[in-house]
Structure 1
Amino acid sequence: MSAPSPRPTPRIDMHAHFYGGGLVEALLARSERPCLRERPGGALAMVAMNGEFPFTSDHFDIATGLAQMDAQGLTHRLLTFPGALGLDVLPANEAREMIAGFNDHLAGLRAASGGRIFGLAGLPLADIDAAAQEVRRIRRDLGLPGIILPSDYFNSVAEAKTLAPVLAAANETGCHVMLHPGLKVATAPPAPPADFAQYRTSAVALQAQATQTVLTLILSDIQDLWPRLSFQVVNLGGTIPFIFERMEAIARHRTPDHPFPTERLGNLWYDCASLGPRALEAAVKVLGAERIFLGSDYPIFTDDPFARTLAPADVEPEAKRKIEGGNAFALLERLLA
């Protein structure tokens, strides 16, 4: 009898967002950003915290998303509550019911998609106790693998620890936590730059903020306090792969008894959403292929993350298999067991 064929490597997109599950209706009912408004001709536009963009079926129709996955050869996708919109930091009386309904819908997509869709829940962060309770519900009752949190909370250790009840609740059952650009409760979005705003905000500032998130996690005791959490930092951890040697040099010259803990970078997870092969090559050398996920940032970006980023990268075949889906599959199997 011949040996069974090896299971093909899953191709899992670990950074994508979903605006369905009742959010369309909630956003249409709003008059202030974030909201949806109708453009001349009937097309919808999302008025978000950092600008306005066309709102298409890619954002809210799961059938559209599954067809796009098929076209790109993606076997699975991790969808998240759209944290960057700021819906999770609205007053609790506005956010609680809306977010709970979204999370219910997101949990149902796994069965509706034949197991291809997984999801990270949103939380009503203006009520920290309700947010902690929602973490317990989505893990114990809904079976979702984790949550998405605004990374503005991770610009410092003190800010991150204001989420202690949420992190403790997530730690109780083990939880995957994506740290994604987003506002804290009761904070306004920063004023846009005077020029070249799309590049200064959506690239330079975003990457710097992701770097701050990494520093908070690896320099603090957060991972020791809540060891059952797996943290995912978006966009390959920002500028970390390019400046870690400078941070090592700073420590070597200013605090030689306390070297920069480069090895702790390997405690986190990272995705390559919206970045390219050269960035991925640098990240593999610094972070390790076993800590990196494929990611697209769909529907904000619609590029094929495998064809555009992973396939052309000068990375060993085994490393590519891990990034393509092996890492994500192993993590999700544990979280969903």
Structure 2
Amino acid sequence: MTDIAQRVDMHSHFYGGGLLETLMSRTERPYLRTREDGALMMVAMNGEFEFTDHYHDYRVGLNLMKASGLTHRLLTFPGALGVELLPANEIAEAISTYNSFLAQLTGETDGALIGLAGVPLADMDLACAEVIRIRRDLGLPGIILPSNYFNSLTEADALRPLLQAANEYGCHIMLHPGLKVDEDLPPRPADNVQYRLSAVELQSSASQIALTVILSDMLEEFPNITFQVVNLGGTLPFIFERIESIARHRSPDEPFPTDRLRRLWYDCASLGPRALEAAVQLYGADRLMLGSDYPIFKDDPYAHALVPANLSQADKEQIPWKTAHGLFTKLDALRQTKLHGS
């Protein structure tokens, strides 16, 4: 990525790179099946959806991306699918193959497609070794992790060895909705499932994980890790004043550290201009990035969220690419320093 103005989508997912064949061979969730009418269906943890070419053919997404004016896109391992939670002897090789494909894809697309890798979380030693390979050998910017590991400090502690390994070469980590290894699916809401799960509960979850990171010592213990919280940090831009009020009235000697929220990065995936305006007020534009959640959502985040937003021209120039550019520049510098021992 150069210093020339760009439009960078920092939140999308990719199910190709060999995963298609892996999922076709499975008979338990997650797996692919062919419907009677010939449509390919993904049987996922929370339901079933049609598995179109958008999910696994990077060329389809790349053409749509270029047509809308997006210049770069961050493809991520499909974290919410739960593939990385499977027994390592079943999935580690497939994940490694996928990660190598992502690195190859970056070169083949002249950097237009950038990748966040997956790691086999059921075997922590293998996961640690893979994150080192991802950064040291493949040069990918980082990994995606299931956010349920960050619902509390105790749960996050289970990933401490992985975070230590990620910190070695510098690593970008997207905290994305997803289960932990051996975690059961939560009970489904009694009604209006898509709205309660995919909007209300998801946004609340994003807020919880941001709190876990900023209210812990992770930012100090792992200074070479950059954490990305999806969907503008959930409900935080709308409830932080209540959080500050709670601290002011119930623990006046320990004010809520709102400023630490500015030490994370956020994308605007699947959200719009009003939410983006609130997020800029809380985090600052230099912590915000475009995000689409493609192929689940197909809106162009630049046209859909940024253009209609009531923001300054400087903010509208920062969010499309400058934040992401600064992030990748920092990560590359950390990696180069480690590689060359200086």
Q: Same fold (TM over 0.5)?
A: yes
Q: Aligned AA for 1:120?
A: L
Matched, 1:76 2:76: no
CA contact (8 A) 1:76 1:117 kept: yes
Q: What does residue 336 of structure 2 align with? A: none
Deviation at 1:8, TM superposition (A): 4.0
Q: What does residue 159 of structure 2 align with? A: 163
Q: Name the CA distance, whole Å, in 1 between partners of 2:111 and 2:279.
A: 30
Identity %: 62
Matched, 1:96 2:92: yes
Per-residue CA distance 1:78-134 (angstroms, 9 max, x = gap): 000000000011111112111001101111100111211111110000001110000
CA contact (8 A) 1:251 1:260 kept: yes
Q: Aligned AA for 1:220?
A: S
Residue among 102, 113, 125 paired with 2:121: 125
5 Å matches for 1:265-304? 265-304=261-300
Structure 1 counterpart SS, 2:138: coil
5 Å matches for 1:202-221? 202-221=198-217
Q: Name the CA distance, whole Å, in 1 between partners of 2:308 and 2:81.
A: 32
Matched, 1:334 2:330: yes
Per-residue CA distance 1:219-264 (angstroms, 9 max, x = gap): 1111111111000000000000001000101000110000000000
Q: What does residue 306 of structure 2 align with? A: 310
The farther-off stretch of 186-195 and 156-165 is: 186-195
The farther-off stretch of 172-181 and 89-98 is: 89-98
Name the Cα RMSD after superposition. 1.1
Q: Aligned AA for 2:284?
A: G
Per-residue CA distance 1:9-54 (angstroms, 9 max, x = gap): 1100000010001111111111111111111221111111121111
Q: Name the CA distance, whole Å, in 1 between partners of 2:207 and 2:155.
A: 15
Q: Aligned AA for 2:162?
A: V
Q: Name the CA distance, whole Å, in 1 between partners of 2:109 and 2:35.
A: 32
CA contact (8 A) 1:10 1:329 kept: no
Q: What does residue 222 of structure 1 align with? A: 218
Structure 1 stretches of 4+ with a deviation exceeding 2 A read: 333-337
Q: Aligned AA for 1:212?
A: Q
Instruction: Indicate how the Cα distance of structure 1 residues 90 and 7 shifts in structure 2: closer, same or farther if over 3 A, else same.
Output: closer
Residue among 28, 31, 46 paired with 1:32: 28
CA contact (8 A) 1:83 1:122 kept: yes
Q: What does residue 133 of structure 2 align with? A: 137
CA contact (8 A) 1:38 1:44 kept: yes
Q: Name the CA distance, whole Å, in 2 between partners of 1:165 and 1:8.
A: 38
Matched, 1:19 2:6: no
CA contact (8 A) 1:237 1:270 kept: yes
Q: What does residue 3 of structure 1 align with? A: none
Q: What does residue 184 of structure 1 align with? A: 180
Q: Aligned AA for 2:152?
A: S
Matched, 1:198 2:194: yes
Q: Name the CA distance, whole Å, in 1 between partners of 2:33 and 2:282.
A: 44
Structure 2 counterpart SS, 1:297: coil
TM-score by length of 2: 0.95
Structure 2 counterpart SS, 1:105: helix
Structure 2 counterpart SS, 1:30: coil
Q: Name the CA distance, whole Å, in 1 between partners of 2:188 and 2:28.
A: 17
Deviation at 1:336, TM superposition (A): 3.2
In structure 2, runs of 5+ residues without a counterpart are: 334-342
Q: Aligned AA for 2:96?
A: A
Q: Name the CA distance, whole Å, in 2 between partners of 1:330 and 1:252.
A: 35
Deviation at 1:7, TM superposition (A): 5.7
Matched, 1:55 2:16: no
- Matched positions, count: 332
In structure 1, runs of 5+ residues without a counterpart are: 1-5
